[in-house]
Amino acid sequence: PPLSSGGNAYQRLSSFFPKISQSLVAVLTTLDQSFGWLQSNQQKSFQELTAKSTLPANLCLDIFKWAIPLVPFVLTNVPAEVIGILTRYLVHMDKSVQERATQTLSVMMQQRPDLRPTIATAAADFLLQIPDTRYEIVHSVLDKLNRLLKEWVALTAPASTV
């Protein structure tokens, strides 16, 4: 289960999980439209890129950062779209978003064996969309995909006998 099932609080909160899950997916997909495309190595600053946004950029980015780490703990059924969003954030221009996306994918890799192939596929699909001329981004995604795959291997390797 996404949250620890210990105690009365879990039982009281469990009725809210479906709505919280729907809301979290809606927040991520909505904010992705405004802030998800902000990849690293942009020529302009964050303020310049978001100046025409009708949303308060800093507040939305804070909500975005808050929502990302909740994914493995709140969503029992993580849509492939959300995993795709998280893989694109591996190279987001905001370092905090990058770190949170990397950590969230790592947590899902550890705690959700059923999502491991989806995570690896989403990262590889994203990688294939990046032009070779964007060497730094290609290298960064490859490095993070490599770490996730090594984590998967370590999690599935049989315990060594000493």
Q: What is the pTM of this model?
A: 0.79
Whether the predicted pLDDT of 148 surpasses 70: yes
Tens-place pLDDT, residues 67-105: 999 999 888 889 999 999 999 999 988 888 899 999 999
pLDDT tier at 43, thresholds 50, 70, 90:
low
Strand partners, 92: 39
Residues 6+ apart with CB under 8 A from 104: 68, 69, 71, 72, 86
pLDDT band at 39 (very low <50, low <70, confident <90, very high): low
Q: Which runs of consecutive H residues, i.e. helices, occur in 3-43?
A: 8-14, 17-35
pLDDT confidence band for 55 (50 / 70 / 90): low
Taken in order 23, 28, 31, 32, is the CA torsion positive or negative?
negative
pLDDT of 130 over the 60 cut: yes
Tens of pLDDT, residue by residue over 108-128, are 999 999 999 999 999 999 999
Percent of the chain exceeding pLDDT 90 equals 44
Residue with tokens 């950029």, as numbered in its chain: 57
Q: Mean per-residue pLDDT for 9-14?
A: 74
Beta bridge partners of 39: 92
